[in-house]
Amino acid sequence: MVEKTVKKLFLVLLTIFILTACNSSTLSFNEIEIVPDRVQKVIDEKNTLQIINIVDKDISYVVFRSKGTVTTDLETQGDTLIIKLDVTNEQENATEQHVYKLTLDPALDTINIHINGKSTTIDNVTGI
């Protein structure tokens, strides 16, 4: 009898663990080398900072042009995602394009981008 109770308890705990894992955050932010064609077609070369949202999906692409080395970090505050882009080793050479794939967490409804610690205006937001 005790063995059945332990097995049931184990199954209940396992189910809770699996459901919790399925509902966990899907938030990710990674620089990509190969930009999908439909994204590449809407990138505006004149913009320093652009977001391209994929309609009906929790995926966006952040396009950032910089003359230096870019490091990234994410922070959440309540329902706001803060994307931190820090530029170092700036040089006078040609501007380099960085494209990041952002997989959003549905619990977050606001994106704020900081460049070198300062909140920055997004030049263009596009939906495809």
Q: Is residue 106 within 8 Å of residue 28, measured between CB atoms?
A: no
Q: Which residues contact 87 (CB under 8 A, 6 or more apart)?
A: 66, 67, 68, 69, 70, 115, 116
Q: Are strands 80-88 and 69-77 parallel, antiparallel or unpaired?
A: antiparallel
pTM (two decimals): 0.78
Q: Is residue 66 within 8 Å of residue 89, measured between CB atoms?
A: no
Structural domain boundaries in the chain:
26-127
- Residue by residue, pLDDT tens for the chain (128 residues) are 545 443 444 433 333 444 334 444 589 999 999 999 999 999 999 999 999 999 888 999 999 999 999 999 999 999 999 999 999 988 887 799 999 999 999 999 899 999 999 999 999 999 99
